[in-house]
Amino acid sequence: MSTSLSHHATAHAHADAEAHGDMKSYFIGFVLSLALTAASFGTVMSPIVPHAWRLGSIVALCVAQLLVQLSYFLHLGTAKSQAQNTAIFVCTGFLIAVVVAGSLWVMHNADVNMMPDSMSVQAALHHV
C-alpha cells in the first residue's frame, strides 16, 4: 500500500515537473538563451563572421532561441498535458508563416514591377 502511494506521489511529481519544469530546467534554459543571445550579437558586432553569412546566422540563432525558450520556459512539448497547447501553437506558427512570408513575397513583387521613379507617366505610356 505504502509502496503504491509513494509510487503514485513520484509519478505525480514527475508529471508536474514535466508540465511546469524545475529549477534545473529553468537554469539550463537561461544559460542556453544567454549563450544564443551572445552569439547573435557577436555575429553582427564582431568581424569574425563574413557578411554574406550573417543574416542566415542570426535567423538560425533566433529560431534556436525561440525553441529553447518554448521548451524550457513555456514547457511546450509532446507530454499529454501539453499536447493541446502545442497543437494550437503549431497552427498559429503556420498562420504566422503565411502572413509574414506572403506579405514579404507579394510586396517584393509589387516593388520589383513598380514603375521606376526616373520615368514619367508620359514616357511610360510611350514605352508601352
Partner 1 sequence: MSSTTLSMTPDHATHDHASHDASSTTKLGFWVYVMSDCLIFAVLFATFGVLAGNTANGPAGHDIFSLPYVATETMLLLLSSFTFGAGMLSARSGRRAPVLGWLIVTLLLGATFVGMEIHEFAALIHDGTGPDVSAFLSAYFTLVGTHGLHVSLGILWLGVMLHQIYHYGLDEVVMRRLSCLSLFWHFLDLVWICVFTFVYLREFV
- Binding footprint of partner 1 on the chain (CB under 8 A): 16, 20-23, 26-27, 29-30, 33-34, 37, 40-41, 43-45, 51, 54-55, 58-59, 61-62, 65-66, 69-70, 73-74, 81, 84-85, 88-89, 91-92, 95-96, 99-100, 103-104, 107
Cα separation, 95 vs 108, in Å, equals 20
CA distances to 26, 67, 101, 107, 127 from 110, in Å: 45, 33, 14, 5, 19
Task: Tell me if 101 sits within 8 A of 50, measured CB to CB.
Answer: no
Task: Please state the closest distance from residue 3 (CB atom) to partner 1, in A.
Answer: 19
Task: Please state the closest distance from residue 66 (CB atom) to partner 1, in A.
Answer: 6
